[in-house]
Structures are given as C-alpha cells and as structure tokens.
C-alpha cells in the first residue's frame, strides 16, 4: 500500500514538451511510473519519446488526454503564468490528483484554483512542491527515485532537498518508505500536513511518519493537534528555520515569520506538547524513529 | 516585495480611496517648500520598509515650514530598524476624531484574502487580535465571488454607527480590496483609517506588500521596487535568480533548496557558529549560478568561511562538483571553502573535489562543524 | 399543508423602508404572515410600524436580522441595482428561501447570485416575481390576499396579474388553493416549473395543479415531460402569447421568442403531447380542472 | 436592446478583437469617399436591427468607389424586414479562406453565458444546431470563474487545427466574452469569423444585444440606442416607463401585467380580432401612466377601439377606475373605449365608470368580444 499514488496511477504530464517537463517525464518513466499522456497546446497528435523506446501521445488539451487514456493524475510543469490555468484545466478534465510542481505561481491565482478544485473534489498537491513517490510503485514529480526504498515509513514535508536529506538517511539506515510527499513551500497549498497524516494513519503499511516543517503559518501546529487527537502511529518531527529572521522570506514563498507567529520555536514547542518527538539535527531523525518503532 | 507608504498611497488613491495629498522629498529644502505649499501643520514621515517608524522618531508633526525643514534634516539619514531613511513624505496634518484599523492579507488557512478591521486604529493589530479578540472583525473573501457589497458593509458597520460613516467606510473597504487584488498584493493596510470632525473617513497611512510571483505581469508595480532600501548583495542575488537573505554571522552558506538551506543555518548555530546568510542556489549544477553565489557571499566582509551543502538528487553529484570547480576558477576566493556533497554519484564527486584540492565530505554535521571551527580560527 | 411557505414561515423584509417594501410589508402582516424583521442599511435599531400597532425591528444587515429573529425566509424589495447583492446577503445569512420581487435585475448579476445560492442550497424564487401565497397560512410577496381561498389546487405561473385572473376564477368557482407560486418572468429564475411541480406532487393536500406559462425558453416543455414521467396529479395548463411576434420582448425580460424556439404553439403542443389539458381562454381553466378532478 | 453592427464592431475592437476598419455613412457621396480611401473592393452593409440583410439585398460587394456610391444609394432607404435603412457601413472586402461561427448568449437552462461555435460560418446557427448538432461545440461559462484559458482553447480548437489559428481564435473568444460581459450583453456573435490566406483570424461581422436591465449602469452602451430604428410610439412608451410593442391590428390594448396583456391579445385574436399592440401599464393606478398609454395607443392610426383589461389586486379597482377617468379628461379620445375591471372593490369601480359614461364590465371574455365587435363596426 501507499498513499495518493501507486502502481495503478495513470499520469498525464502537463507541459510535457518543456525543458523540465520532458526531463522529468523521462525520469518518471524510467522509475516505472505509468505516464500515459502529455499535454502541450498546439502539439497534439505528436508523440513524446521516452526512455527505452517508449512513446507517450501528446494532446492539445487535458479533456482529450483524460478521455483518450483514462489518466487519473496530472503533474504540472508549465511556467508560472499558465500554471493556475493548467490546474483549472486538469480539475475540469476530471483527474483525481493534480501535482503542481511549478514555483512562483501568483498566490491569488492559486486561491481561485484551489477553490475550483475543491468545488470538484479534486486533490491538488502543491504548487511549488517536489511531488511524491511511493517507492517501487510510482513517482510523480521531481523526487529522485534512487534515494528511496520500500518500507514502513511515511514522509511528509514542505521542503524539497531537506526531504531528500531525510529520506536518504532513512534509506541508508534501512528504513524504507511507503510514500514520501512534498506538500510544497507556498502559502496556499492544496494538500496540507493533516491530509497526509490522515492518509498515512489509514494506510496499513505505514508504521510511523516523519513530518518535516518549517517557519511560516500554522499548518504544523494544527497537524500536531491532529496527531495528538487522532493518530495511533508515532510521528517524528523536524522544523527548519530556527535561525531565520522575522519578516524575511526564506526562499519558499510560504517560509516567512509574520509578526510573532510561525516561528520555529513555536512549532517545535507545539510538536512536543502534542507528543511528537522533534529532531534538532536532521541526523537525529533516524534515531528517534528507531526509538519510536522499537 | 514591500513598497513604501507613498507608493501604497498612490495605489490606494488610484482605487478611489480618499488619501490626503502628500509629497515625497529627499532634502530638507524640498520638505520646507512642500510644507509652505500645504500651509498649516504637516506630518513628516520617514519612508522605510519597517514598522515602528513613530517609536523610532521617524514621524514628526511640524507646525510650520521651518520646522518641517528641521525635522526632515533630522529624519533623513536616520537608521530605522536597520533601514536608512533616504526619503520622507510630507503631508498635511488631519484633524482626527477617531482612528480605526482596516487590513487585508492572504490567509493561509482560509486560502483567501481576509480582512481584519478594528475600531482601534494606529495599533499593532496582531497584539489587539491576541489580547482583545472581540475588538476585531474578520472576514475571508471567497475568490469565486470577490468582495460582496453586504460584506463591505458588515465590516464597516463594525467600525462605525453613523450611516454616513458606514457608507464611506464600506466604499473604502471595497476599494482597498480592489487595490489589493489589482496590485497583486499579499497584504494591504490602512492604519489608521480616521474620521474627521467634519464627518469624513480618510486613509492617513498606507502599507502594502506585493506577492513576488505577481511582478512578472505587473510592470507598473514591479518598478516600485526600491533597491536602495536593501543590501546591495540582495539586489544582486535577485538579479542572478538566487534566493538570498543577508544575516549577521560569519559562516557563508551556499545550499541547494530552501528547506535544506534553513536546516544548514540552524546546524551552524547548533554547533556554536553564526550563519552569514540564507542562500538557495536552486536545483541546477550550472556554474554561472555558483559563480554568482560565491560573488555575493564573498561581498559580505563578515564572512570567514564558505560552506557548501549540496544534496544531489536528480542532478548528479559529479556534475555539481564539476560546476563548483569551474566556478571557483572564475573567481578569486581567498576564504576557506568546505563542501558537503551527497546523493547520486557522491563518491565520484568527492574524488573530483579532493583532486582539485577542496575539502569535501558527505556528512552534513561533519561539514558544518568544520565550517564553524574554521570561522572561529579565522 | 402547502409548499415552500406555511404558518411557521418567519419572514425578513429586505428593503422594508422603501415605498414598495413598506406597503407590502403591511399587506403581508395584515394577511397574517409572520414578518419578524426588516433590513435597511443605516436604519438598524429603528422599528417598522405595521398594521394593528405591531412593530417589526429593523436591522442594518441580514446577518443580524437572521441571528436575532430566527427568520428562515426573506423577501427582496430593493431596487434593481442592489437586488442581486441583497440576494447574496440573504443566502449568506442562511435563510432557506429568498423571494425576489424586484424587476429589472441585470441578468449576469443574477447568474452569479443563482450560483451563489446554489452553492449554499438556498432556494431563490424569482426575481421579477409576485411571490407566493399559501392561503390562510402565509403570503410572501405582492399577491393580493383577498382573491385566494384555502383548497386543493396548486397554482404555478410565470406571470403576475394573469395568475390573479386564474386564481380569482378558481376561488369564485369554489376551488381553493394550497399554494399559488409566481416563479417570475425573467430569463434566469431560481425556482422553475419543475421544482414547483415536484413540491405539489409531494404535498398531500394538493389534488391538482394549474400551470401558467408564456412564450420564451423551454421551461414549460421540460415541465411537461416531468408531468408525464412523474406526476400522479392532474395538471391543467395555459400559455400566454400566441399572438406575440418573434424577437420582441413582451414585457417580461424572459418573454421573447428567440429564433423559432419558445413559441406558444410549441409549448401548447408539448403540453398536449404530455397529457396536460390546455385552456385556450383563461376562462376555460376552471372547467378543465373540474373535469380532471371529477 | 439591439445595437447596430458598426456599434458592435466598436465594442469588439475595444476588447481587442481584430475587426477590419469601417466607416458608417448616411449618403452615397460619403460611401464613395470611404471606398476611395480604402481602395480596392469594399462591402456596403445596411445597418438595421434585422437579420437576413444579405438575402434582402442589404449587403453588396462594390469593386470601386463609383459602385460603392451606386449601391449605397440603392440600399439607403430600403426596407429590410420592416426596418428602414438609414445608415450603411463601408468596409474593405477581405480575402476569405474559411468562415466560422462564434457566438455567446445567456442560456436559460445553464443559467450562464454560453458559447456556441461552429466551423461553418455565415450560417443560421440555430438551423445548424438542429440539423447537424455534431458540427457545433457548446460551452457554458461558470459565472463564478469567468472564461478560463483552456476553455477558450477548447472552443478554438474545434474550429481550427493549425496552432497559430487556434491561438488567435482562443484570444478572440476570450475577448468576445470580455466584450459580452463588459457591455452587459445578452447576446454577442461573430458570424463569420474568417481566416485569411495570410493566416489571420478576423471578425468581419458583429452582432450584439444588450440586456435592458444593464443600461442604467452603462451610459456608454445606453447611448448607442438608435431610436430612428423603432416606431416613435415605442420610443415614447419606453420614456414613459411602459412596456409597449406595436403590432398590426386595430384593437388597442391597455392591460396591467405582461402575462395578462399577452392573454388579452390572444383573446382578441380568439374572438376574430387583431390586437394593435402589447401594452403593460404596470401595477399602479397613477393617471399619468394611463394618460401616456392612451396617447401612445391613439397615435397608432390603425386603432379603432381601446380595450382596458385591469385586474385590481393590491391596487383597488375603484382607485384604478378613478385613474382612468382622470386620464381620459386630459386627453381627447374619440375612439370607443371598453373597460374591464375586476378584483378588489370591483362593484364600486364599475359604478364609477358607468357614472362617467364609460362601458364597463367584469368579464374578460365579454369585454374582448365587445372590443372586437366595435373594431369590426368602425
């Protein structure tokens, strides 16, 4: 088992002919993801050449891509100016999951796009996220397939490379993963910590969860309350940004301490108050997890 | 991106909000002339991207033109919370009956633009929300419908009772929403919104932050950026497409990924050091970006050591190692450099780096400890 | 029994201090409608003086009016420029039924307002409608109370005075009504014929229905198909506008034959094809109804 | 409210839609000058609020200025489906590769602006929709979100295959939606939308109807009304706030309520007469409205009898009767008047009318029969 994606996931790549889209499509296909279609307006009826002489049909629009191939998931690599539009298109075309990789999408565009997706019961992951991977089954997004391994740990994170860091340590220590999810570093994201925790709690193969947060917002705090109230599985946490100054955006659009709220101290305190062991160094995650699973 | 008060006033005024006249000046003489023109008492307000201007002495009431000149000369060049004052706004002082607060920002939980209003103005609204939550009214605007007339009225009616004030304030609230959306803002604030003895409602302060992701499609807003109000290194980083925030420490950090960059800073602190900066070079192994990053880090004279922390994911570590080596060739770095590279092909990468005489390892803790130690020695 | 409104209906009048609002509020109160609140921005905390020394509290907004009085229905008498806004406000305040009397509301405003009400599961009647009356129980709108009587006939109509005409004849002939509903003459209305027929079909006290249509649109045609497929109760129909020229708006914004569709002939034909007896003169309605009920 | 082609072209052009240049003229001389200026072949198009202009000879291709002058003099003054031609549009003829249809109107069932497009242009779209439904594509626009980029693309892609044409058409479709919403329209149509051999997509015809209820807030649109294209009586009725439509019969109808007014017309026909008009005087007993109604009805020289059919609901019948009597005093009506009044206080009302020497009754059938009979006699 895994959450959100597995070996049945049929993916359409929005922006498949772009630089990032084409590169990561090949990476996904090489990993074994079932990429069934690509969309680039104006390039319909061409084919995308994947690895191992596999080809993927390209469509002008999501509507056709979904109806012709039965895709149930899309991944968005289109530039920021068009990304919200691509999400709206995917939501209308009827996929179940939209993974929005694009960074720099205007926040008010996303407010509308999230509302549109909610209206239709479609899950959006991101934007500004690395996507997700269910080791051995499927990867959708840009997470490096070679650092993961199958196993019982669920990983959810607002960050990209920090997640790789943590996952690589888990894999090296023999702790494989059910699914690793990057929820994205933007202020308005479609899938938050709680959604992922719910899914991990319900996933019978997940034994424990690593939750990697950062400064900005209150998503971690709400997730912590959820962990205490609802979760039976152990959760180990990490929060990046203890040294971040207030009021400055630390790379991610969402990583900013506004006024006195959203500090790392606050998040760490709330984690601990709700029974989540907090790793002070990334290197401590493995140890805490082994302790929790022992 | 923060914009100055005088710029936010322009946006507000264009949306129809009643904002008193004002002139931005850079010399005491100009301030004197402006004060003369307005006549009567004027307010001199430092234009810096920082709150707490009043407490810092950056806002003064001048009773005549001579005083306006004197205060302006005191305020110009002041340092307010790290920001040097290079411009002041001169604006006629208003007769104030009451002060209220009206603000709108993107609320993460509601996933929507959200208004907060309070009949107490000129205050720290966060503080008010915490200490007397009943004295604020909050409303999220459904992005599918925008601001509805009754919603603006409902907010305005929390501030005032007299129908004439309520109707003026409703209009201002709607206009503030228009200015917010029309500027691609992440925050817009009138603090205080005043009423005058004559029964007029006016915005005598204006604050706005722009969503950086909106700038590509709003050239009129993008040109409001005041690079003089930020460290030169940050301007250069932005131009080079790097996320960079200058800090006060001495360990220069060069990391791929924002989360890992923060975690690296935290670990520097954990091992007793002080990070000199946040810097995310992004996901590529392009030597140009590394060159730009090194130039920016080394332009900070506090920096005593340069710490690379790179996780090679999709990008292979050997490519990154080659990129770093090529970058260093192009720039004369005298500071010690320590490098951590891990992920795909890391062994190959470490060999490449050591062959080039660079200090390299695969553990994040190890490289950070080494950097802190080198900074202490230097 | 009755449909949509009965003696428990608690009404708030939007625009209670206006010329029409105040007049019809008094009429409604005189009829026995429970008018519990009025709304006029800027006149909050005043009282509206009704007949028989009854007073109704006035509020600045619907939110307060509903929370203070428990009103479950609103009736809108505000001018066209503000009517859609009033409907949005009522829908957000949580009433179950909004009766929009105002004529001349911009159609695109109504498209938004109807979407907003649908999002919240709120029924809108109108706009540009006379409202409805459940004889002996409640009236909301401008229908004249003195022409109705309690009895087993449901009446639903796109028109105002033509409805009065029909209802008056029913009453005179001893055929009282469960509820008379004017659904309104605009192109975009919140409650259509089918909604009313469904409610009449379910109402145990309604024995037969009079459905009064007119040129324009296809609402009558769809209702006829519904009658044939679903209704057990007899329906008598009338269609106004057999002499209306195509392409000209006959008073009601919705009463216009576009191209070849929406003609009276077409509607009459579809009525007859679906088993609805059609009165050629208004005076024939009573006879057809008596025949159907015999 | 219908607007002319040249006015719709202006709205379209303002929204960015590529529309060839054009000049509206009222004399053959002006047409000749315009044709000279454009050079080459021009199209002369009658500006009337009616379809089927081509079939009626109201659209001609003129190969030179002299021909433009000649055709214009033929077209001006023509009667097209009851509308006299007072203006023509002169526009350069375009090289046409393909013709398509793009239209948007408020769809009652979808309760939303709804696009219909077809790769067959210059056609009766209703006919196409009926006979070959597969050759149209339809899409309703959610009023909460407006036109989304992929929706415009989806419609455009139904018309064209070459990406360059699709992208031009998407843009035009989005602009048409903007023009539609921004004008408060109930219908807007480009028929045909052409492609040229050079690969350009252009609108060479433009049609738009405005929602009357929008006019109060769109003065720029409201002033496009061409009262010369409607009977004077309709202009006067509108100014008096009455709903009036002139017809060809001789029984002048004055009714309260639109549905009852239509039913009255139908009943006139049923009893062998012909209604002279639709007229709804609304719900009040105000004598001014009745005066205006009588003036408008009697200005139609076909009218032989005036029929009042009033249902007194909230308004009491005696008030209405007094209103009619007072109105008749102010205007010299020589035609027979028959009145039906029913509802509240009808007995009282009938007495008042009969005392004033007017023919009154309470049955709709009775009064209509009497009116038809009087019209036959007169």
Rounded to whole angstroms, how far apart are CA atoms A117 and A119? 5
Q: CA of D302 to nearest chain A CA: how many angstroms apart?
A: 57
Per-residue pLDDT reduced to its tens digit, D53-64: 988 999 999 999
List phi, psi (to 5°) of D46.
Answer: -60, 135
Collect all residues of chain D within an 8 Å Cβ-Cβ radius of residue B143. Answer: none
Contact B79, B105 (CB under 8 A): no
Mind listing the pLDDT tens digit for each residue in B88-97?
999 999 999 9
pLDDT tens by residue, D109-147:
999 999 999 999 888 888 888 899 999 999 999 999 999
Chains that touch A (3 or more CB pairs under 8 A): B, D
The pLDDT assigned to D284 comes to 67
pLDDT at residue B290 in the model: 86
Three-class DSSP category at A47: strand
pLDDT at site D125: 87
**B198 & B147 share domain:** yes
The catalytic residue among A31, A252, A257, A288 is: A252
Residue D5 domain flag:
no
| The total number of structural domains that make up chain B | 3
Inside any domain, residue D296: yes
Q: What is the CATH number of the domain that holds D247?
A: 3.40.50.261
Is B4 within the bounds of a domain?
no
Q: Which residues of A touch D163 (CB under 8 A)?
A: 41-43
- What tokens were used for B135? 């004295």
Listed range (B27-41, B158-172, D351-365) with the worst mean pLDDT? D351-365
H/E segment holding residue D297? helix D287-298
Same domain as B195, residue B241: no
- For residue B366, the model assigns a pLDDT of 96
Contact A80 B213 (CB under 8 A): yes
Give me the CATH topology for the region C10-125: Rossmann fold (3.40.50)
User: Is the model more confident about D129 or about B42?
Assistant: B42
Shared-domain flag, residues D188 and D61: no
Chains in contact with C, counting 3 or more C-beta pairs less than 8 Å apart as contact: B, D
D157–A61: do the CB atoms touch at under 8 Å? yes
Residue B13 located in a structural domain:
no
Query: What's the pLDDT tens digit per position in D186-237?
Result: 999 999 999 999 999 999 999 999 999 999 999 999 999 998 878 889 999 9
User: What would you report as the CA-atom Rg of chain C, rounded to the nearest whole angstrom?
Assistant: 18
Q: What is the pLDDT of residue A267?
A: 97
Of B203, B222, B241, which residue is a domain's last?
B222
Q: Is A24 a catalytic residue?
A: no
For chain A, the structural domain boundaries read: 10-125, 144-293
Confidence bin at D378 (pLDDT 50/70/90): low
Of A60, A92, A112, the CB nearest to D157: A60
Residue of B130, B184, B263 to mutate, testing the A interface (most A Cβ within 10 Å of its Cβ):
B263
- Closest approach of D145 to chain B, Cα-based (Å): 6
Going by pLDDT thresholds of 50, 70 and 90, the confidence category of residue B359 is confident
pLDDT digits (tens, 9 = 90+) for B289-335: 888 999 999 999 999 999 999 998 777 788 888 888 888 888 888 89
D130 and D72 in one domain? Answer: no
Is D125 within a domain?
Answer: yes
Dump pLDDT digits (tens) for A76-97: 999 999 999 999 999 999 999 9
pTM score of the predicted model: 0.94
pLDDT at D91: 97
Q: Residue B181: list chain D partners with CB under 8 A.
A: none
B145 with D144: Cβ contact below 8 A: yes
Q: Chain D interface, mutation test: which of A60, A64, A85, most D Cβ atoms within 10 Å?
A: A60
Q: Measure CA C56 to chain center.
A: 24
C255 touches chain D (CB under 8 A): yes
Q: How far is D249 from chain B (nearest CA, A)?
A: 48
| Alpha carbon separation from B205 to A82, B105, B179, C128 (Å, rounded) | 35, 16, 15, 45
Closest residue to C105, CB basis, from D144, D213, D256 = D213
Residue B283 clears pLDDT 80, i.e. is over it:
no
Residues of B in contact with A267 (CB under 8 A): none
Provide the Cα torsion C39, C43, C47, C49; round to 10°: -80
Q: Which candidate from B145, B153, B163 shows the least CB-CB separation from C61?
A: B153
Is position B249 within any domain?
yes
Instruction: Supply the pLDDT for residue D285.
Output: 66
Q: Which has the closest alpha carbon to B1: A254, A111, A249?
A: A249
Same domain, residue pair D42 and D120: no
Q: Which residues of D touch B145 (CB under 8 A)?
A: 144
Give D242→chain C minimum CA distance, Å: 9
Please report residues of D whose CB lies closer than 8 A to that of C252.
258-259
CA angle C149, C151, C153 (to 5 degrees): 105
Say yes or no for a CB contact (<8 Å) between A248 and B216. no
Q: β-strands D136-140, D112-118: how paired? A: antiparallel
The partner residue sitting opposite A62, judged by closest CB among D145, D150, D166, is D150
Selected catalytic residue, list D71, D101, D177, D244: D101
D187 with D284, same domain: the answer is: no
pLDDT for res C277? 97
pLDDT value at residue B174: 98
Mean pLDDT along residues B330-350: 88
Digit-coded pLDDT (tens) for D295-330: 999 999 999 999 999 998 777 788 888 888 888 888
Containing domain of residue B26, as a range? 21-92
pLDDT band at residue D345 under the 50/70/90 scheme = confident
Examine the domain organization and report whether B105 and B85 are in the same domain. Answer: no
Residue pairs spanning B and D at CB distance below 8 A = 3
- The CATH code for residues A144-293 is 3.40.50.261
Whether residue D50 has pLDDT greater than 90: no
Is the domain of D241 the same as that of D365?
A: yes
- What residues of D are in contact with residue A62 (Cβ under 8 Å)? 150
CB within 8 Å of chain D, chain B residues 130-159 = 144-145
Residue of D nearest to B146 (CA): D144
Average pLDDT, rounded, for chain B: 93
Q: Are A294 and A175 in contact (CB under 8 A)?
A: no
Res. B134: pLDDT tops 90: yes
Q: Looking at the annotation, which residues of C are catalytic? A: 252
Active site residue D38: no
The domain boundary, picked from D75, D92, D109, lies at D92
Contact D267, D365 (CB under 8 A): yes
What pLDDT, on the 0 to 100 scale, is given for residue C61? 97
The reply to whether residue D245 touches residue C27, judged by beta carbons under 8 angstroms, is no
Determine the Cα angle at D187 with ends D182 and D193, to 5°.
Answer: 95
The enclosing domain of D80 has a CATH number of 3.30.1490.20
For B154, residues 6+ apart whose C-beta sits below 8 A from its C-beta are B137, B139, C61, C63
Q: Nearest CA of chain A to the CA of D145: how many Å? A: 8
Measure in Å the smallest separation between the Cα of D214 and chain A Cα atoms: 27
Mean pLDDT per 10-residue interval, chain C, length 294 residues: 95 96 95 98 95 95 97 97 98 98 96 97 97 98 94 96 94 97 97 98 98 96 98 98 94 88 94 97 96 92
Best probe of the B interface among D141, D142, D143, D144, by most B CBs < 10 A, is D144
CA gap C65, C57 in Å, rounded: 8
Q: Does D159 have pLDDT greater than 70? A: yes
B8 falls within a domain: no
Give the chain D residue nearest C160 (alpha carbons).
D257
pLDDT at site D81: 85
Q: Which residues of A touch B261 (CB under 8 A)?
A: 250-251
pLDDT of residue B200: 98
Task: Say whether the peptide bond before residue B192 is cis (omega within 30 degrees of 0).
Answer: yes
Question: Is the pLDDT assigned to residue B378 strictly greater than 90?
Answer: no
D206 & D262 share domain: no
pLDDT digits (tens, 9 = 90+) for A60-73: 999 999 999 999 99
Q: Write down the catalytic residue from D189, D234, D346, D369.
A: D189
Low-confidence ranges of chain A (pLDDT < 70): none
Q: Would B142 be classed as within a structural domain?
A: yes
Own/partner pairs, B167-170, CB within 8 angstroms, 24+ separation? B167/C41, B167/C42, B168/B18, B168/B200, B168/B201, B169/B100, B169/B102, B169/B193, B169/B201
- Write down which residue in D222, D243, D261 finishes a domain: D222
Task: Determine contact, residues D126/D187, Cβ cutoff 8 Å.
Answer: no
The count of residues in chain D is 378
The domain that holds B129 is classified in CATH as 3.30.470.20
Claim to verify: residue D39 and residue D166 sit in the same structural domain:
no
pLDDT for the residue numbered D329: 86
Shortest distance between the Cα of D143 and any Cα of chain B, in A, equals 9
| Interface membership of C253 toward D (CB under 8 Å) | yes
Please answer yes or no on whether C62 and B150 come within 8 Å at the CB atom.
yes
> Considering only CB atoms, which residues of chain B are within 8 Å of chain C?
145, 148-151, 153-154, 157, 163, 166-167
Which tokens hold the place of B39? Answer: 């006549």
């Amino acid at each position: 088992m895994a959450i959100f994606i597995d070996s049945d996931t049929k993916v359409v790549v929005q922006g498949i002919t772009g630089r990032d889209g084409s590169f990561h499509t090949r990476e996904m296909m090489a990993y074994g993801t079932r990429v069934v279609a690509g969309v680039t307006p104006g390039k319909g009826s061409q084919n995308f050449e994947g690895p191992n002489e596999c080809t993927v049909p390209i469509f002008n629009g999501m509507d056709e891509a979904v109806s012709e191939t039965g895709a149930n998931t899309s991944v968005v690599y289109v530039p920021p100016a068009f990304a919200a539009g691509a999400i709206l298109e995917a939501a209308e075309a009827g996929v179940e999951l939209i993974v929005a990789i694009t960074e720099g999408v205007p926040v008010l565009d996303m407010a509308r796009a999230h509302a549109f997706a909610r209206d239709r019961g479609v899950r959006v992951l991101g934007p500004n996220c690395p996507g997700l991977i269910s080791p051995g089954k499927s990867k959708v997004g840009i997470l490096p397939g070679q650092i993961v391994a199958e196993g019982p740990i669920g990983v959810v994170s607002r960050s990209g490379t920090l997640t790789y860091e943590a996952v690589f340590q888990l894999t090296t220590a023999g702790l494989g993963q059910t699914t690793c999810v990057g929820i994205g570093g933007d202020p308005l994201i479609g899938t938050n910590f709680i959604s992922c925790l719910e899914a991990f709690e319900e996933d019978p193969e997940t034994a424990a969860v690593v939750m990697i947060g950062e400064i900005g917002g209150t998503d971690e705090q709400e997730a912590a309350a959820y962990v205490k109230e609802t979760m039976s599985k152990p959760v180990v946490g990490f929060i990046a940004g203890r040294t971040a100054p207030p009021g400055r955006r630390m790379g991610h659009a969402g990583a900013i301490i506004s006024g006195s709220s959203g500090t790392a101290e606050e998040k760490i305190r709330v984690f601990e108050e709700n029974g989540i062991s907090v790793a002070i160094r990334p290197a401590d995650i493995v140890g805490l997890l082994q302790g929790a699973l022992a | 991106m923060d914009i100055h008060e005088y710029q936010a006033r322009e946006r507000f005024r264009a949306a129809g909000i009643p904002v008193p006249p004002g002139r931005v000046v850079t010399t005491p003489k100009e301030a004197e002339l402006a004060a003369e023109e307005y006549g009567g008492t004027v307010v001199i307000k430092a234009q810096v991207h920082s709150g707490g201007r009043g407490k810092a002495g950056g806002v003064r009431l001048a009773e005549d033109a001579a005083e306006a000149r004197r205060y302006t000369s005191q305020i110009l060049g002041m340092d307010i919370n790290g920001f040097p004052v290079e411009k002041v706004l001169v604006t006629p002082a208003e007769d104030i009956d009451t002060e209220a607060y009206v603000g709108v920002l993107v609320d993460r939980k509601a996933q929507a633009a959200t208004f907060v209003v309070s009949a107490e103005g000129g205050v720290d609204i966060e503080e008010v929300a915490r200490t007397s939550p009943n004295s604020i009214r909050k409303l999220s605007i459904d992005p599918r419908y925008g601001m509805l007339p009754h919603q603006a009225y409902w907010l305005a009616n929390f501030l005032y009772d007299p129908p004439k004030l309520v109707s003026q304030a409703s209009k201002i609230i709607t206009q503030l929403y228009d200015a917010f959306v029309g500027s691609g803002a992440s925050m817009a604030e009138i603090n205080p919104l005043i009423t005058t003895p004559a029964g007029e409602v006016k915005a005598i302060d204006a604050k706005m932050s722009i969503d950086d992701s909106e700038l590509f499609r709003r050239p009129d807003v993008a040109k409001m950026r005041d690079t003089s109000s930020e460290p030169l290194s940050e301007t250069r980083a932005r131009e080079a497409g790097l996320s960079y925030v200058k800090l006060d420490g001495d360990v220069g950090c060069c990391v791929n990924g924002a989360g890992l960059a923060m975690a690296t800073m935290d670990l520097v602190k954990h091992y007793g050091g002080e990070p000199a900066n946040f810097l995310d070079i992004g996901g590529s192994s392009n030597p140009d970006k590394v060159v730009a990053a090194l130039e920016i880090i080394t332009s900070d004279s506090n920096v005593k050591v340069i710490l690379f922390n790179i996780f090679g994911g999709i990008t292979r570590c050997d490519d990154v190692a080659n990129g770093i080596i090529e970058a260093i060739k192009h720039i004369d770095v005298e500071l010690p450099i320590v490098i951590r590279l891990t992920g795909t092909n890391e062994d190959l990468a470490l060999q490449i780096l050591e062959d080039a005489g660079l200090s390299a390892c695969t553990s994040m803790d190890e490289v950070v400890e080494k950097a802190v130690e080198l900074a202490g020695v230097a």
